[in-house]
Structure 1
Amino acid sequence: MKKDRRIDKSKNALKDALILLMEEKEFKSITITEIVHLANLNRGTFYKHYPTQEELLNELIEDVLSDLVSSYRDPYITVPNFDVGKLSSSSVKIFDHVERYSRFYTIIVNSNVLPGFQNRICQVLKELIQSDLIKLMPNPEIDCSLLSSYNAYALFGLIIEWVNGGFIFTPHQMADQLISIISYQSPKGTAETAKGTNSTG
């Protein structure tokens, strides 16, 4: 079935309007009237797609998380023998993802509009690392859950620093920094350990 671009356009306008409003006020105080007015749409269009403001927010969140997952996996999902030690900055896409949703990330880092969402992002990253990349870690002395948590929160810490700094670096520069940090933390001459440092994106 062919996708209706008009539907996507309307939905995106409503999501953009919601983000703009969340920059100014708490979500629970945002009305449908405010959303449609800012999106230059009518209430009928809103209700055609969403029964409530909460449903609009939920779809926005799912968009962000879905794009986060695909961006994180981009460097390795089609690579048979992935080696994090051979990552290039051009293959790291997670910072492009954050830039795409920069206003959303600024909101969740700098306000309490979505309490707990930072932890939700870290949990998604942890699950990705544990399911996709932990198999590259050959050291049985390191607990897989602790290792994935360490990498997930370290990566999100870089994102928070980038947001708080006003995005002064480009996504490419952030990818360069991530790779440099991974290389710095990995003991020289131990490729297996380098593979175990899985803060990639």
Structure 2
Amino acid sequence: MDNYHDRRVRKSKIALKNALMSLLQQKNLQQITVMEIVQTADVNRGTFYKHYQYKEELLEEMVDDIIVDLIDSYRNPYQKGENISVDNLNVSAIKIFDHVENHADFYTIIAKSNALVGLQNQICRQLTDLMKEVVQQYQEPEGIDLNLLASYQAYAIWGLIIEWINQNFKYSAAYMSNQLLTILQLTRYS
């Protein structure tokens, strides 16, 4: 019975998050009502209020889920405990573009609308923190502040993601990973 209940809760939350995402493609969060969310999700208001007090709480959980997945995607190549560098990194190890592709609607809303103002900064801060983890593994290059280096790399990756979104995901995630790897290799030796 407990497993059944857990599945129902997950299913309801997924439906509510998908409904909110669908509505955010049409209008800003402030314009969306709880009634619209539950109607789109095909659940009752009681189900919504069983899990969330406000629509902002639903959005926050949805964003948190996506950020956790972003972190996991970024850390994927480093999980085997190996020291990864540009020299031994391969395209299949870069998972960040797979993550963006899997959450294309979310990232498109962030990049192309004012529906989720402030989330671009939150994503960039998270990317910067992830970059700091990586650059701290290396000896500080003379004259380069590691915080500035991490920020530079984070915003460069975010720029690639934004350009990919603006081109309506014209390229595959593998192509974008290959481009990032090529850029990293070029800039490493220039």
Displacement after TM superposition at 1:45 (Å): 0.9
Equivalent residue for 1:30, pick from 29, 32, 49: 32
CA-to-aligned-CA distance 1:130-172 (integer Å, 9 cap, x gap): 1333322441310011101100000000000000100011111
Structure 2 gap segments, 5+ residues each? none
Equivalent residues, number: 188
CA-to-aligned-CA distance 1:1-21 (integer Å, 9 cap, x gap): 858122111111100110111
Measured in 2, the distance between the counterparts of 1:131 and 1:19 equals: 31
Measured in 2, the distance between the counterparts of 1:84 and 1:49 equals: 44
Measured in 2, the distance between the counterparts of 1:137 and 1:165 equals: 37
Deviates more, 1:179-188 or 1:151-160: 179-188
Equivalent residue for 2:155, pick from 136, 153, 156: 153
Q: Contact conserved, 2:136 with 2:146, CA < 8 A, in 1? A: yes
Displacement after TM superposition at 1:83 (Å): 2.1
Q: Contact conserved, 2:124 with 2:158, CA < 8 A, in 1? A: yes
Measured in 2, the distance between the counterparts of 1:79 and 1:175 equals: 21
State the TM-score, normalized to the length of structure 2. 0.94
- Decide whether aligned partners of structure 1 residues 132 and 182 sit closer, same or farther in structure 2, where only a CA change above 3 A counts: closer
Q: Contact conserved, 1:19 with 1:103, CA < 8 A, in 2? A: yes
Displacement after TM superposition at 1:85 (Å): 1.8
Residue pairs, 1:112-191, within 5 angstroms: 112-187=114-189
Seq. identity, %: 47
Measured in 2, the distance between the counterparts of 1:31 and 1:137 equals: 51
Q: Contact conserved, 2:128 with 2:153, CA < 8 A, in 1? A: yes
Measured in 2, the distance between the counterparts of 1:116 and 1:29 equals: 17
Q: Contact conserved, 1:134 with 1:148, CA < 8 A, in 2? A: no
Matched, 1:17 2:52: no
Q: SS where residue 130 of structure 1 aligns?
A: helix
Measured in 2, the distance between the counterparts of 1:154 and 1:58 equals: 26
Q: SS where residue 64 of structure 1 aligns?
A: helix
State the TM-score, normalized to the length of structure 1. 0.89
- Decide whether aligned partners of structure 1 residues 116 and 180 sit closer, same or farther in structure 2, where only a CA change above 3 A counts: same
Superposed CA RMSD in Å reads 1.5
Measured in 2, the distance between the counterparts of 1:83 and 1:49 equals: 43
Structure 1 gap segments, 5+ residues each? 189-201
By relative contact order (CA 8 Å, sep 6+), the higher-ranking structure is 1
Displacement after TM superposition at 1:120 (Å): 1.0
Measured in 1, the distance between the counterparts of 2:124 and 2:143 equals: 23
Which residue does 2:102 correspond to in 1?
100
